[in-house]
Structure 1
Amino acid sequence: MKNINMLKQLVFSVLLVTPVVYGAVTVDINSNRYQFDSNPRLNEVLAPVALQSNWYWPAAALYQLDSDEPEQLRHQLLQQIVQLKQDNSANNELVTTLQSLERQVAAWRLAKRILVPIDYDFARIRPEFNPRFDSGTYLLQLKRRPANVYLFGALSSEMTVTHRSAAPAADYVVSAQTTAVADLAELMLLQPDGKVQAVGAAYWNHAHIEAMPGAQVFIPLQSQLFNSQFELLNQRLLELASHRVLP
């Protein structure tokens, strides 16, 4: 009995002095790896690098690397494109566009995007902008002000164009090599902070919505009458693009 009581006291003492560890967190920040034994908050992750440069916080992006969700979505999307090519083999213009989409999607670097605002000052002073990391492996991209805007979708090939201050998103498409099945009236804008906006580009719905530096402009395919597959394709392309890891 005496030995049992001594063992209980020893275990209790160890529990008092041993910190509770929720799990390990690894964060790759601009090619440098940081490891945390417990689950840090965003301000702790940003602290070693936040003041190293004049970061453009709207373009900062956090990705979870140990998730296969984006690859599963890519697989579904590519399967759908193959089926649509078979079902529309007589439509050369559509097949050419679908082949271009295959090349674009296959070349993307993907990781699961976690849509949280990333700003060091906000994280330090506002609890709602300072979430705690779950256990896992992450990629955190910090950038200076990006110089480009990225175009993808119903194009002969995706494009990288120079960002122009005060230019509406629709203006970037004017010189793009869009295909015959592109829906130029209903563009979609993916801002670098993760916000998605519909951008009217036709004379009857044109709106002055600016693309932020580092934004993506999606040129969707025209919806086919009595065929919801093309609407689903556009939705999947937009969703997958939200998980792109851009340069």
Structure 2
Amino acid sequence: MKRLNVLFLGALILMAPLSAFAQLTILINKQPYEFPRPVRLSSVLSVVADSGDWYWPAAGVFNLNDATAEREKEAILSELRKLLAQYEEGSNRHDALSGLYTQVASWTVATRVEMPVSYTRARLYPEENPMFQPGKYLLRLSGRPDVIHFSGVVEKPGAYRHSSGAVYTIANSVKHSAGADNSTVYVIDPMGNVHLKGAAYWNVDYAQIMPGSQIFVPIAGNFIGNTMDTLNQRIAHLAVHRILVQ
């Protein structure tokens, strides 16, 4: 009889839906939290909402089980290697591409989930209170950032102190390298939106830049074809998936 009970229990386990045993893990910054079933954003945020002065526009959710961003990173690096082989070492174009390759290779990326993160709004508006399905996620929270992250064809990529000012002023506060497109920049705001902005005296953009944003200075485009333009767009959109230290 005991053996029959064991066999019956084994059959029940095999017949049970996989979702019943699927695990939901959410890393809030570096602290893991386990949930026995799918859970809504508001419930997740309630765990830490009062433990810090969080700047919700800079919060982001990343799906650690989705390798889309990592695959795109590798595809971009492959494209950069092909382009590097087409230009002479020491040329402005080769140096610019080499700098882009080094930067992108150093990025830590994970597939960002298109999800607004706000404890107040998640409690008030059902459409902003999505459900986390089984899997592993990273929820990044921080206080109000005081930096802007520069990347692309600049002499010293990295985090710079945020200051108020128009796109034109801030984009030109960091020295560009030879081979840069000096007329436009990509601004990636903390919510993950990508904007192409004017950065020259003849196309001045007076929009303000949010703290925690990224500015990607593109490589100058081709006179014939749009290979560089496409590459710039792909890198700017990959930047949405960067896991940044604020």
TM-score by length of 1: 0.87
1:178 aligned counterpart, secondary structure: coil
Identify which range, 152-161 or 233-242, moves more after superposition.
152-161
Mapped contact 1:22–1:135 kept (Cα < 8 A): no
Aligned-pair CA distance for 1:159: 2.5
2:173 maps to 1:214: no
1:148 correspondence with 2:112: no
- Partner in structure 2 of residue 87 of structure 1: 86
Give me the whole-angstrom Cα distance separating, in 1, the residues matched to 2:114 and 2:172.
Answer: 30
Match of 2:187 in 1: 189
- State how 1:105-144 maps to structure 2 within 5 Å: 105-144=104-143
Q: For residue 199 of structure 1, what is the aligned residue in structure 2?
A: 197
Is the contact made by 1:194 and 1:242 (CA closer than 8 Å) also made in structure 2?
Answer: yes
Could you list the per-position Cα deviations for residues 38-71 of structure 1 after superposition, in whole angstroms to 9, with x for gaps in the alignment?
A: 1000001111101111100000010011121111
TM-score by length of 2: 0.88
2: CA distance, partners of 1:22 / 1:215: 39
Count of equivalent residues: 227
Determine if contact 2:194/2:237 at 8 Å carries over to the other structure.
no
RMSD, matched Cα: 1.5
Tell me if structure 1 keeps the 8 A contact 2:89–2:95. no
Q: Distance in 1 between matches of 2:121 and 2:21?
A: 25
Corresponding position of 1:10: none
Q: Which residue in the other structure is 2:51 paired with?
A: 52
- The letter for the 2-side match of 1:85 is L
Post-superposition CA distance 1:117-143 (Å, at most 9, x none): 100010011101100112210000110
Aligned residues: percent identity?
33
Looking at structure 1, the residues matched to 105 and 84 of structure 2 have their Cα atoms a distance apart, in angstroms, of 16
Amino acid at match of 2:146: A
Structure 2 unaligned blocks of 5 or more: 1-18
Which range moves more in the overlay, 84-93 or 141-150?
84-93
Aligned counterpart, 1:229: 227
CA contact (8 A) 2:73 2:238 kept: yes
Which runs of no fewer than 5 residues in structure 1 stay unpaired?
1-19
Partner of 2:76: 77
